[in-house]
Structure 1
Amino acid sequence: MNEIQRQNYLHALGIENYMPRWQLPFAPQSIACVMPVINSEALELSSGTQVIIEQAISSVISSIASSSKIESAVAVDVLANLDIRQKPSAPINATAILQQLEEKKPTAVAPFSLSVWRPLPGFLIIDSRNTTLALPTDMLLNNILRACLIEKFNLSEEVLRWPMIENRFVSRTEADARNELQTWLAVENELRPISRLWLLGENAGKYFISADINAIESRWQKIAISGLPGQVQISALFLPSLNELLQNPSDKARLWSTLD
């Protein structure tokens, strides 16, 4: 088998190099291909040509070396202008990460309840409840209304609890309480239009007004409640809670002057 044909055959099979270790029976003897004769005299170069080639090679090498030095110097200057400070790698602490996430969460508001009265049509009173004190708040409110109102009124108390739906998976932030109670007030005003509103105590005041108004500083004042759902605007009078009035009798004098 001709060597050139064998190489072509192996190349077609994708085999770059193959050296047979056995000779198959009855296989023809391999014949080496005839290599062309190279004239060595034609390849010999004159001494002058060799010198020119060597000079060209040395000049190319020197230019490459000088350019590499310049590039390295520029790189060093650029890196020198940069303030590279590697932070030491700190171990990842899962407990610290969870604590940071908990600190970023808004503070949850504890569940609370409010007392609601409708003594007259269009008159709504909301008070901050505190049943642990067990003070006669109904009697105090009855005396206040008897002094302020001429008409016969009704003092049937309703308890408004927040959150209105018990679900531990629902967020209970201050913004959630404000949004839910303001929605309740807007619906209440739509069902029974409110012409007079008293908000007694901190919980009764802070969640029915916007977040930028301080309920404590707004006491004894009448403030327009805006930003309710449905573009509703209601004016409310901020007063201390009934429990606070019973605990601080000196506030009653200011209460009478405010109501007059």
Structure 2
Amino acid sequence: MLNEPRRRAYLTAMQVVSWLPRTELPFAAPSRPELLAPVPQIEEAPAPVIQADAPRAPERDAPSVTPTPVARTVERPKIDIPRPSSAPKPKPVQEEEVVPAVVKAPVVPPPRFALQLLRAGSCLLLVELVTGEPFQSRDPSYLLLKDMLRAAGLPDSPQIIGEPVRWPLLVRGQMDQGPEAARDFVQGFLYARVEEQPCSCLWLIGLPALRYAAETDAESYNLELQVDGLGLAWALPGLELLMDEPQRKADVWRSMRQLMGRWKTVDE
């Protein structure tokens, strides 16, 4: 038999809030009298009697019904008991893997230049063509070049070797025509000419000649350079730059005097 505290614990565990015993429970708390008071009955109106022509059987007296007192139920406060939830626990939100965005290398437009290769005695001259057109006999830049060759003790009528090297090679197409491709092309062109006929000194006249033949820049003007596969090279400003800035000619002359022995010995 259950005592009252344990009985209420079981009912609470089963989430039974309202209950009414059918019989008197042992060890139960006494019921309050007001809960056992009879519920007042609502009298219903008698149904209308329909008379029929046929004879009816004699009505018997209906047994008297004594109303049974109904005990009122008192709702007890619901007590929530924490229970382990059987629902699946949500998985912890994992941080999304950050995929590094692929950064495309900027497209570098192909460089634009034109170079002419000439030979004067034992020297090769790679000269920038500012206009992109071959030298003409009366061009001021060509006349300046002739003066420089005479000052250096070389023939002042240099031999033109092949067509000018113009870059980019193609107006359209999928071939790489960036700076590295231009450098490889110019160096390969010079390697082939040097193998055909070696030279004592390679004159690099103009910034494109320095940049794509010797991989250097304007800070190397008037300096002696050693280029792999090409030997001794002399870095010079462009002919147009020398005409626009005549004060540069003094530096060229001083540098020429130091290197003049390189080709004079060979020619003699």
TM class by shorter chain equals: 0.5 to 0.7
- Mapped contact 1:135–1:246 kept (Cα < 8 A): no
**Cα 1:188–1:67 shift into 2, 3 Å:** farther
In structure 2, distance between residues paired with 1:146 and 1:162? 28
2: distance between equivalents of 1:86 and 1:215? 42
In 1, the alpha carbon distance for the partners of 2:165 and 2:186 equals 10
Q: Is the 8 A contact 2:114 2:132 kept in 1?
A: no
Give, in whole Å, the separation in 1 of the partners of 2:98 and 2:246. 66
| Higher mean C-alpha displacement, 237-246 vs 162-171 | 162-171
Aligned to 1:129: 129
Asked if the contact 2:127/2:206 (under 8 Å) is kept, the reply is yes
**Is residue 154 of structure 1 aligned with residue 157 of structure 2?**
yes
Correspondent of 2:107 among 64, 88, 105: 105
- Rounded to whole Å, the distance in 1 between the matches of 2:86 and 2:214 is 72
Q: Please, which runs of 5 or more residues in structure 2 have no aligned partner?
A: 1-82, 258-268
What's the offset of the Cα at 1:131?
Answer: 2.7
SS for the counterpart of 1:207 is helix
Alignment of 1:63-212 (within 5 A): 72=89, 76=91, 79=92, 82-84=94-96, 104-110=106-112, 112-120=113-121, 122-131=122-131, 136-149=140-153, 152-158=155-161, 159-163=163-167, 165-166=169-170, 168-169=172-173, 170-210=175-215
Q: CA deviation at 1:176?
A: 1.1
For residues 104 and 166 of structure 1, what CA distance do their matches in structure 2 show?
21
Letter in 2 for 1:217: E
SS at match of 2:233: strand
Deviations 1:53-95 (A, max 9, x none): xxxxxxxxxxxx96967x73xx65xx26x445999xxxxxxxx
For the pair shown, the structure with the greater C-alpha radius of gyration is 2
| Deviations 1:163-215 (CA, angstroms, capped at 9, x unpaired) | 485462122211111111110011011001122111011111101123xxx31
| Aligned counterparts of 1:152 and 1:85: Cα–Cα separation in 2 | 71
CA RMSD of aligned residues (A): 3.4
C-alpha distance 234-164 of structure 1, shift in aligned 2 (>3 A)? farther
Q: Report the AA paired with residue 181 of structure 1.
A: V
TM-score scaled by length of structure 1: 0.55
Question: 1:152/1:220 Cα in 2 relative to 1: closer, same or farther (>3 Å)?
Answer: closer
1:239 aligns with 2:239: no
Correspondence for 2:11: none
Unaligned segments of structure 1, at least 5 residues = 1-64, 88-96, 227-231
CA distance in 1: counterparts of 2:123 and 2:212, whole angstroms: 19
Do the aligned partners of 2:132 and 2:166 also contact (CA within 8 Å) in 1? no
Closer/same/farther in 2, CA of residues 167 and 249 from structure 1, 3 Å limit:
closer
The residue identity in structure 2 corresponding to 1:154 is: S
Q: Does 1:258 align with 2:255?
A: yes
SS at match of 1:104: coil
**Alignment match, 1:45:** none
CA contact (8 A) 1:148 1:259 kept: yes
Of all paired residues, the percent bearing the same amino acid is 23
Relative to total residues, which structure has the larger helix share, 1 or 2?
1
Aligned residues: 167
Cα deviation, residue 155, structure 1: 2.0
Q: TM-score, normalised by structure 2?
A: 0.53
Distance change in 2, residues 1:234/1:86 (3 Å): closer
Q: Are 2:223 and 1:218 equivalent residues in the alignment? A: no
In structure 2, C-alpha distance between the alignment counterparts of 1:247 and 1:198, rounded to whole Å: 20
